[in-house]
Amino acid sequence: MEKSFEPAQIESKWYERWEASGAFQPSGKGEPYCILLPPPNVTGTLHMGHAFQQTVMDMLARYQRMRGMNTLWQVGTDHAGIATQKIVENQLAVEDRTRHDLGREAFVERVWKWKEESGSTITNQMRRIGAAADWSRERFTMDEGLSAAVRKVFIDWYRAGLIYRGNRLVNWDPVLGTAVSDLEVNNVERDGHMWSIRYPVVGSDESVVVATTRPETMLGDVAVAVHPEDERYAHLVGKTLKLPLTDREIPVIADDYVDKDFGTGCVKITPAHDFNDYAIGQRHKLAPITIFTLAAKVNDNAPEKYRGLDRYDARKRVLADLEAAGLLVETKPHKLQVPVSDRSDAVIEPMLTDQWFVDLTSDVQTDGRPGGRQAITLPALDAVRSGEIKFVPENWATTYTQWLDNIQDWCISRQLWWGHRIPAWYDEAGNIFVGEDEADARANATTTPVGTLRQDDDVLDTWFSSALWPFSTMGWPANGPVKNERGEVVANWEQDKIFLPSAVLVTGFDIIFFWVARMVMATKYFTGQIPFREVYINAIVRDAEGQKMSKSKGNTLDPLDLIDGIELEPLVAKSTRSLLLPQVREKVEKRIRKDYPNGIPSIGTDALRFTFAALASYSRTINFDIKRAEGYKAFCNKLWNAARFALSNIGDRAEPAQGIPQPTLEVNRWILTRVKQMLIEVEQHFTSYRFDHVAQTLYEFTWNELCDWYLELIKPVFRGKSDDADTLTTIDSKAIAETEHTLLYVLETVLRALHPITPFITEEIWQWVAPKLALSESSLMQRPWPRADEIVADDAATAEIEWFKNVLSGIRRIRSEMNISPAKTIPLLFADGDASDRQRANKFNPAIEFLARVTPTPTPHSTQAISPPSIDPPSFIPSPSVSRWIEPNTQEPASAAAVVGSMRVLIPLAGLIDLGAEKTRLAKEISRIEVEIKKCEGKLGNANFVANAPPEVVTQERQRITDWNTTVTALREQAQKLG
């Protein structure tokens, strides 16, 4: 093995070997366990959020696979309608062309070409994270198989009356030229104005004043509304107003939507460009007047002078004209929420257009069939309410159910070219025909088509196909095997439906509505099953200061840069490349030079994954700090070196050790006990998705138990090995053999337990370890998860080792506090204590001498052969009887002391220790314990405590006070001896 851990050297080889071995595919044996990858946008590149989420999925998949589950991690990518179309349109823009220059067919072909060339960026990056996903089943939402599912779902829902086409007010993105769903609109606070405009009453000197943030929409006003109980305006209801700047007259209507106390209490009503106004217009049967084109320019319904103006130019003109007419009463600054398109940042314009909708709100259809609420929404709601689907952390269930309780119909048509084209045709009379293709649509027609049929130009919302992911990827609705474009079988519903429901969905809270809810709806409806049993909502990754990562802030991190490391200059270059504004570029560059003066060090995949695991508590954000990742790289190095230590001490065994060790030495029995506890905890934490605790448990075991203690404690055993083999007694070689076996077993077990988090380093080390244990598997990936119940715990051995650790810690503390060099050998004596202390001191003497650098006891017969030990079972190595013990009532040298139970561990002061400093140290220790004793006495002196607290708590408290008293007595005695 190399001297230190070099991730780059070992990561490159293992992934390909694993994948080639078929280890990523379902074994076909055991209980099905499926994880669905939220298909990333095919346009995407891996960011920290992906890396985190995928690490979580990979840990689960690897863990369950080792546990013997028939594990499928289903992967694929999403066609991402708008995002992908935009990329290719941007390419065309460079050539000074638009998609319309190419025409639909050629454009779509070009997008496909782009997808073939660039669409696997993100999946290749996933491989660098170590994702053990089944790539042989990789799917794309526009695969033929998945497209067939989309068509069937659309047609079935249409025929069930659950999809309808309607002329409705929708969120229109005038830049992208398409409708978007409610979810794709963000409300952004902007500084604007509130304008008050006077509308004269026809045939009167009176007038009303309305307030608006969008004065240009007055051109489309159809009424002014007041509250029905507003006495100020009661006499005007039913009267007519002169709509300024136009030749139209509009009524005053009464509607209790109006808030009497807001503004003037009068609201202008523009049903064609405002959702609330639309509802009011419907209630009062007022025909909406659309005044904008789809590009948000004023149309021919407005007076001529405004036509063709962009909505913001129109606003200026309208205001100027109102001002000139003396009808602009007031202008004041006003903060308002502006609806902005998620994809283009364009301000959304509500527009009346023909669109397709999924009914999610009606209870019963006019013909008596169940409406969308009954058929789709409520089953999705019940799946979570009933607990059939569980959210982790569970409070997200509230978010889910509240959204479904207030859901609107889902606008599924998009005026794009890239996507699943809607399987609907229109005849020349405007009748609708839906089917797999034109022939099928005709065959299923209920009316005779008039003239030729023309297919709907629109495509479906990207999320429509994502909603089907849990069953479309399993081969639904085909009867037999589904093949990809290369002719390989990727799914077969008859076999693969065992993976439905999947075990857990790992995803971000931001797509609970977009995706999670819709998968439940569609999967429930079409398969009768839930799509997944649990939904683990992962945290959002922020920077070290808790700020959102964004390119314009310059605080993003590329997971691959963390893995590979990157020099400062290339980092600056790549971080500023896509930034357009010079001042932003400058700011970002400055920040990067400040944050990473030396670039980013290479952390390696394993350390990055360990960091993600360690951060994955139930908190909803995690702050990623490179410092932390560097700490976990150190952990990897620690593990690496522990393995080197083990392997170099064991050397080439003639015969490999096999099976689970049954050692007799306490130190070995103790570490096995600790391994058992560690495994039990790790399993619990996996079950509850507490990856932070999984990581912490493994970290602490590996570092604080295995490395800090076990490896140190067995050094005295192995020290015997370096001696001439002839001088070893039988017991020595037995002790060495069982220790080697235990060490190998423990190391191999911890490698298995760590493998889900750090697959690369564990595999690499395992390859060195496996031959020495005669393991038949060729890869750690094939090893079973270590079972805690195979290991026997030994509490007695644990008590022995705890005693020993206390003695050693006591000596170390004295050394440190008294400034005795760790290299200096010191004398050691024991006093007081009981019989078991004597026995233990005797037994552990050689280990104490070795590990605490203690002067060996002069043994009268040191030249003679070592006598057989009187203790059974043998300890580290057999020990001659020692003469460290100070008998009662004998003179003892002035010493520094540590107390273990009732025993005093003494280091004689002569020449080593400052008497005054030792007195101070003792006094401090005594007063600390006295405080504890006071606390205990306070509790036990309280009759209510003794009467009401659980008996075991009272017992525990009594035990504590006894222990403290023992310790403090010994300390006081020591203090007194020092004078």
Partner RNA sequence: GGGUGCUUAGCUCAGCGGUAGAGCGUCGCCCUUACAAGGCGGUGGUCGUAGGUUCGAUCCCUACAGCACCCACCA
Segment contacting RNA by CB under 7 A, of 27-35, 300-308, 702-710, 763-771: 702-710
Check residue 301 and report its DSSP letter.
T
- Shorter beta-carbon distance to RNA: residue 483 or 960: 960
The span from the CA of 395 to the CA of 881, in Å, is 64
Question: Rounded to whole angstroms, what are the CA distances from 369 to 208, 242, 380, 432, 523?
Answer: 48, 47, 18, 20, 20
Give me 560's structure tokens. 């691959």
CA 735/CA 719 separation, integer angstroms: 12
Do residues 575 and 551 lie in contact, with contact meaning Cβ atoms separated by under 8 Å? Answer: yes
545 binds RNA (CB under 7 A): yes
Residue 973 makes contact with RNA by CB under 7 A: no
> Applying CB under 7 A, does 623 fall inside the site for RNA?
yes
The window from 476-484, 706-714, 731-739, 854-862 that contacts RNA (CB under 7 A) reads 706-714
In this chain, which stretch among 357-365, 478-486, 526-534, 538-546 interacts with RNA, using CB under 7 A? 538-546
User: Which CB sits closer to RNA, 813 or 977?
Assistant: 813
Contact positions with RNA (CB under 7 A) in 447-476: none
Q: Within positions 922 to 951, which residues make up the interface with RNA, using CB under 7 A?
A: 932, 939, 942, 944-945, 947-950
Residue with tokens 């009467």, as numbered in its chain: 947
Chain-centre distance for alpha carbon 223? 51
Name which position in 202, 774, 871, 953 contacts RNA (CB under 7 A).
953
- For residue 929, what is the DSSP state? H
Q: Cis (ω within 30 of 0) for the bond into 759?
A: no
Task: Single out the residue of 619, 662, 927, 955 in contact with RNA (rule: CB under 7 A).
Answer: 619
Q: Does 628 bind RNA (CB under 7 A)?
A: yes
Residue 263 within binding range of RNA, rule CB under 7 A:
yes
CB nearer to RNA: pick between 212 and 879: 212
Please answer whether residues 435 and 491 qualify as being in contact, where contact means their C-beta atoms are separated by less than 8 angstroms.
no
Three-class DSSP category at 177: coil
Residues 381-410 as x/- pattern, contact with RNA by CB under 7 A: --------------x--xx--xx--x----
Burial class (CB in 10 A: 0-12, 13-18, 19+), 553: middle
262 binds RNA (CB under 7 A): yes
Give the DSSP H or E segment for 477: none
Stretch that binds RNA, among 15-23, 124-132, 258-266, 497-505 (CB under 7 A): 258-266
Q: Are strands 885-886 and 829-832 parallel, antiparallel or unpaired?
A: parallel
Secondary structure tally for the chain: helices H, strands E: 33, 30
Alpha-carbon span 824 to 552, nearest angstrom? 57
Site for RNA in 800-829 (CB under 7 A): 809, 812-813, 815-817, 819, 821-823
- Cβ-based nearer residue to RNA, 961 or 975: 961
CB of residue 718 vs RNA: minimum separation in angstroms?
9
Coil, strand or helix at 414: strand
Q: How many residues bind RNA (CB under 7 A)?
A: 94
In whole angstroms, the minimum distance from the beta carbon of 5 to RNA comes to 5
Residues 308-337 that bind RNA (CB under 7 A): 336-337
Nearer to RNA, 822 or 888 (CB): 822
Residue closer to RNA by CB (options 267, 411) is: 267
**Residue 595 interacts with RNA (CB under 7 A)?**
no
Q: For the segment 596-615, give every residue that binds RNA (CB under 7 A).
A: none
By CB under 7 A, residue 68 contacts RNA: no
In eight-state DSSP terms, residue 641 is: H
Does 618 sit near RNA (CB under 7 A)? yes
Minimum CB distance to RNA smaller for 52 or for 158: 52
Q: How is 549-569 classified by DSSP, letter by letter?
A: P-TTTT----HHHHHH-B-HH
DSSP secondary structure of 11-39? HHHHHHHHHHTTTTS--S-SSEEEEE--P
Interactions with RNA, residue window 88-147 (CB under 7 A): none
The mark string for 334-363 relative to RNA (x by CB under 7 A, - otherwise) is --xx--------------------------
Min. distance of Cβ 82 from RNA in angstroms? 17
Residue 631 binds RNA, judged by CB under 7 A: yes
Cα distances (Å, whole numbers) of residue 861 to 723, 864, 883: 20, 5, 12
Our finding on whether 564 is near RNA (CB under 7 A) is: no
Q: What does the chain come to in residues?
A: 979
212 binds RNA (CB under 7 A): yes
Helix/strand/coil for 328: strand
Residues 830-869 interacting with RNA (rule: CB under 7 A): none
The CB-of-218 to RNA minimum distance in angstroms stands at 10
What DSSP string runs through 668-704? HHHHHHHHHHHHHHHHHHHHTT-HHHHHHHHHHIIII
Which C-beta is closer to RNA: that of 186 or that of 920? 186
Q: Assess 36 for contact with RNA (CB under 7 A).
A: no
Binding of RNA at residue 276 (CB under 7 A)? yes
Q: Scan residues 191-210 and list those touching RNA (CB under 7 A).
A: 210
Minimum Å gap between C-beta 338 and RNA is 9
Burial zone of 628 (CB within 10 Å; 0-12 exposed, 13-18 middle, 19+ buried):
middle
Contacts for 930 with CB less than 8 Å, ≥ 6 apart: 968
Which C-beta is closer to RNA: that of 623 or that of 966? 623
| Nearer Cβ to RNA (382/817) | 817
